[in-house]
Amino acid sequence: MQNTALGRKLGAFVALSAPEISALESLHKRRRTFVAGRDLVHQGQSEQAAYILASGWAVSYKIMEDGQRQIVDFQIPGDFLGLRSVLFHLSDHSVEPVTNIDVTEILLPDLLDAFSRTPRLAMAILWAASRDEAMVVEHLVGIGRREATERMAHFLLELGARLALVGMGSKAGFDCPLTQYHLADALGLSAVHTNRVLRKLREWGMLTFRSGTVRFDDYDRLAEFAKFDPTYLDQTGPLLK
Amino acid sequence: MQNTALGRKLGAFVALSAPEISALESLHKRRRTFVAGRDLVHQGQSEQAAYILASGWAVSYKIMEDGQRQIVDFQIPGDFLGLRSVLFHLSDHSVEPVTNIDVTEILLPDLLDAFSRTPRLAMAILWAASRDEAMVVEHLVGIGRREATERMAHFLLELGARLALVGMGSKAGFDCPLTQYHLADALGLSAVHTNRVLRKLREWGMLTFRSGTVRFDDYDRLAEFAKFDPTYLDQTGPLLK
């Protein structure tokens, strides 16, 4: 079980005991599959389920009244989809699979049951939600304060670090199903601007974004350029022993 | 106890039983006071405490390497200060009191103890953290997609709704210690632009921002203009009975 992506991720916060691992396993009862492009969490819907992503990528977003869309974040294996939605009367956002995905469905009673069995697992889930919030905060800082090229570099470094935690990336790069259109919608850039920014990073010898791959050509120089400090991802090993 | 701001706020998610109220009370052991302008949560610091705000206002923010500051949110009575920081190795943000404030200090063992006593209180704290995240998401959407005047209107309506939940505001308005400088830093606007936007809203007869007060001159028209849908604040009564 600790080999699942969520188990690996939570391991960065808490060294789970055998009964805690079993409580985490009990959350993985109902496996489901969703195809790319069809929403599984729906903004405005009540009694929405949450999901743990086992494989594939997803994107969470909000639709404005005028139809504009703002991407909030991308989800990778080990991430919750719609965790807020299961606690709220109505879901405040939507989640769409970027690729075909495998998930486990979670309803409010499942969460309550797991919380009753082990308070440390409850803390770990609070930690994961807090880490999600820390990432949204960084995206807010990015849109509010970072110049476009730096914002792009920071964002792709963040994705790389998150993927590394679940064994899907390294300082060399990662497999990436996102399009330039996804990046534009997440970073508040036009398609033309996104293309220009990615070309710049490639010409500077720092990063190559290709269909299906992000390659860090010079990780250290890229991290320095983006002033990337991964403290907010809190991946340096368990605080709760 | 249910009369404290946090008890009132959590009551929007869960109808707390007597033992749950007593577990919540147990979190309120160490009362402290901080003066306006002196940080109580420090970006980059380890073993940071978290706090429950009992009275007064605070502001959470991030400082960039070049000294720029991005305000993430303001905190009002019943809100956690630095909840993430207590779960992370290093705090990823700072919190400064806007006014003199009264708080209760919370350390990791306090939280773990409360979580052990009642899973429903743990869920309620996860709900509160999720609601904080939902607000940061709205601020991201605001900076990414809303025109400046709409962004300002939306932000002040959100503050009004949050304050109403803890008995400190209504559709007529609320007492507000924030300056135009705070609003500018939260909304990514210049001081001049902030001033112009507030003048517009006043001239349109929708809202008056004065030293110490926000008055909603025409709440319904303002809410329509800002397309304010408070779903994401999830204040419509307990989901967990």
> For chain B, what is the radius of gyration of the CA atoms?
18
pLDDT of A137-184, one tens digit each? 999 999 999 999 999 999 999 999 999 999 999 999 999 999 999 999
- Closest approach of B178 to chain A, Cα-based (Å): 20
Q: Domain limits of chain B? A: 5-130, 148-233
Q: Does A84 touch chain B (CB under 8 A)?
A: yes
**DSSP one-letter string for A22-43:** HHHHHT--EEEEE-TTS-SB-T
How many CB atoms are located within 10 Å of the residue A219 CB?
18
* Exposed/middle/buried for residue B205 (C-beta within 10 Å: 0-12, 13-18, 19+): exposed
- One-letter amino acid for residue B213 of the chain: T
Report chain A residues whose CB lies below 8 A from the CB of B124: none
Cross-sheet strand order for the sheet of B50-55 = B30-34, B101-106, B50-55, B80-81
Distance CA A235, CA B113 (A): 24
Indicate the CATH number of A132-233 among 1.10.10.10, 3.40.50.720, 1.10.3720.10, 3.10.20.90.
Answer: 1.10.10.10
A127–B87 CB contact, under 8 Å: yes
Q: Does A63 touch chain B (CB under 8 A)?
A: no
Q: Give the model's confidence band at A3: pLDDT under 50 very low, under 70 low, under 90 confident, else very high.
A: low
Distance CA B185, CA B215 (A): 21
Report chain B residues whose CB lies below 8 A from the CB of A125: 126
Q: Which of A65, A111, A133 sits opposite B129 (nearest CB)?
A: A133
CB A55 within 8 A of CB A98: no
Instruction: Report pLDDT for A1.
Output: 44
- CA angle at B20 for the pair B17 and B23, rounded to the nearest 5°: 155
Distance CA A125, CA A50 (A): 13
Could you give the dihedral angle defined by the CA atoms of residues B214, B215, B220 and B226, in that order, rounded to the nearest 10 degrees?
-30
| A 180-239 residues with CB < 8 A to B | 188, 227, 231-232, 234, 236, 239
Kindly identify which residue of chain A lies nearest to residue B145, measuring between CA atoms.
A70
Q: Give the model's confidence band at A81: pLDDT under 50 very low, under 70 low, under 90 confident, else very high.
A: very high
Q: Give the model's confidence band at A2: pLDDT under 50 very low, under 70 low, under 90 confident, else very high.
A: very low
CATH T-level topology, domain A5-130: Jelly Rolls (2.60.120)
Distance CA B18, CA B21 (A): 5
Q: Whose structure tokens read 């807020």?
A: A84
Which residues, 6+ apart, have CB-to-CB distance to B61 below 8 Å?
Answer: B69, B70, B71, B72, B93, B94, B95, B96, B185
pLDDT of B138-155, one tens digit each? 999 999 999 999 999 999
B231–A83 CB contact, under 8 Å: no
| A 116-155 residues with CB < 8 A to B | 116, 119-120, 122-123, 125-127, 129-134, 136-137, 139-141, 143-145
Distance CA A209, CA A224 (A): 19
Report chain A residues whose CB lies below 8 A from the CB of B227: 64-65
pLDDT of B24-49, one tens digit each? 988 888 999 999 999 999 999 999 99
Residue A135's nearest CA partner among A115, A103, A153, A158 is A158
Strand ranges, E, within chain A? 30-34, 50-55, 58-63, 69-75, 80-81, 94-97, 101-106, 169-170, 173-176, 207-210, 212-216
The pLDDT > 70 percentage for chain A reads: 99
Does the domain at B148-233 match CATH 1.10.10.10? Answer given as: yes
Kindly identify which residue of chain A lies nearest to residue B236, measuring between CA atoms.
A89
Distance CA A91, CA A85 (A): 4
| A 152-181 residues with CB < 8 A to B | none
- Closest approach of A158 to chain B, Cα-based (Å): 14
Q: Give the model's confidence band at A238: pLDDT under 50 very low, under 70 low, under 90 confident, else very high.
A: very high
Kindly identify which residue of chain A lies nearest to residue B185, measuring between CA atoms.
A144
Instruction: Report pLDDT for A116.
Output: 92
Instruction: Report pLDDT for A241.
Output: 84
What does DSSP say about strands A212-216 and A173-176: parallel, antiparallel, or unpaired?
Answer: antiparallel
Distance CA A6, CA A166 (A): 8
If you ran DSSP here, which 8-state letter would residue B178 be given?
-
Optimal mutation site among A20, A81, A121, A136, interface B, most CBs of chain B within 10 A: A136
Alpha helices by DSSP H, listed for B70-179, are 83-87, 108-117, 119-145, 148-165
- Closest approach of B96 to chain A, Cα-based (Å): 17
Regarding an ipTM greater than 0.85, the answer is yes
Distance CA B14, CA A15 (A): 30
B156 vs A114, B54, B201, B206, CA distance in Å? 38, 21, 11, 12
Residues of chain B scoring pLDDT < 70: 1-3
Residue A201's nearest CA partner among A144, A152, A147 is A152
Instruction: Report pLDDT for B3.
Output: 60
Q: Which of A126, A145, A232 sits opposite B68 (nearest CB)?
A: A145
